[in-house]
Amino acid sequence: MNAGTRLYLLDIEGTVAPISLVTEQLFPYARAHFAEFLEENIADSGIRADLALLAEEKLAEAENGGSSFSFAGHPEPEAGSWRGEGAARVEEPLRHDSALGYLLWLMDQDRKSTALKSLQGKIWKAGFESGELKGTMFADVPRALERWAAGARVAIYSSGSVEAQQLLFRHSIYGDLTPHISGYFDTRTGVKTASASYAAIAAAMNVAPAEVLFFSDVVRELDPAREAGCQTCLVAREGNAPVNIANGDTHGHPRVESFDVL
């Protein structure tokens, strides 16, 4: 399965870290701190850029008829506050109180919004650096990263922002694991259900798709990776959604329960 592998590409949630890390630690922490964080940092250029991108995402979704979000209970955005191409194009000051309701709604819907993920990453940064948050990972992960990095390269591909990924591995319960990781990719590369995303990662890491081994706990992510020409592996961890092997739910992807067998 891993013959000729030059790049080990890893999903995070359900693959290197338990799903509970996100659902029980990271998401609740971001939700609890969003209002205070936006109010205190609204003048920061990076925050304003994230909110401008959020505005563009909201506008595009509304124009495509894809959003059912209502501003009930939150101030409706003023004219100009949801438009623009980057922070410099926003016509009026961004309303963090307007953005808050939409951000919380996106979290409730588990939307893979690039702007949301970037803002969450900034909130988590404070939590990791203060020691309130720790990157909980499976015990076999540090051993595998060290082993794989000795003869190839390791990269991460997650819907969480690159900054959030780096924080997770830098502040893991096993210490700083970032020296073993050569690249990080998020939704700016593309969605994880599109084969073009995996081809783009291979090109960015200067390897052929056939030299990439992608690990995920989600079959609908593994399928497009295989379509792009990558090797794939379904990771079955405790707490993950069950996959019925007898019914062919693995779609032919090799399956492992621990990285120690590789």
pTM of the model: 0.78
Give the tokens for residue 180: 């073993």
Please tell me whether residues 99 and 160 are part of one structural domain.
no
Please tell me whether residues 98 and 182 are part of one structural domain.
no
> Number of folded domains in the chain?
2
The CA distance from 52 to 47, in Å, is 9
Q: Is residue 1 part of a domain?
A: no
Please tell me whether residues 29 and 159 are part of one structural domain.
no
Structural domain span for residue 89? 23-130
What does the pLDDT read at residue 64? Answer: 67
Domain end, chosen from 110, 130, 150, is at 130
Sign of the C-alpha dihedral computed for residues 230, 236, 239 and 241 taken in this order:
positive
Please tell me whether residues 142 and 120 are part of one structural domain.
no
The CA distance from 64 to 253, in Å, is 35
Please tell me whether residues 140 and 11 are part of one structural domain.
yes
Please tell me whether residues 125 and 168 are part of one structural domain.
no
Residue 215: burial class (beta carbons within 10 Å; 0-12, 13-18, 19+): buried
Residue 161 pLDDT exceeds 90: no
Please tell me whether residues 164 and 212 are part of one structural domain.
yes
Q: What is the pLDDT of residues 32-67, one digit of tens each?
A: 999 899 889 888 999 988 888 888 888 777 666 665
Please say whether the beta carbons of 136 and 21 come within 8 A.
yes
Domain end, chosen from 130, 161, 186, is at 130
Where are the extended beta strands (E) located within 120-162? 153-157
Domain end, chosen from 130, 146, 167, is at 130
The CATH number that applies at residue 166 is 3.40.50.1000
Please tell me whether residues 118 and 89 are part of one structural domain.
yes
Please say whether the beta carbons of 166 and 184 come within 8 A.
yes
Q: Is residue 90 part of a domain?
A: yes
Please tell me whether residues 144 and 254 are part of one structural domain.
yes
Phi, psi at 256, each rounded to 5°: -135, 155
Q: Is residue 2 part of a domain?
A: no
Please tell me whether residues 113 and 53 are part of one structural domain.
yes
Residue 85 pLDDT exceeds 60: no
What does the pLDDT read at residue 71? Answer: 45
Please tell me whether residues 142 and 232 are part of one structural domain.
yes
The CA distance from 176 to 249, in Å, is 36
Average pLDDT of the segment spanning 229-247: 87
Q: Is residue 210 part of a domain?
A: yes
Please tell me whether residues 255 and 155 are part of one structural domain.
yes
What does the pLDDT read at residue 166? Answer: 95
Looking at residue 23, the DSSP 8-state letter turns out to be I
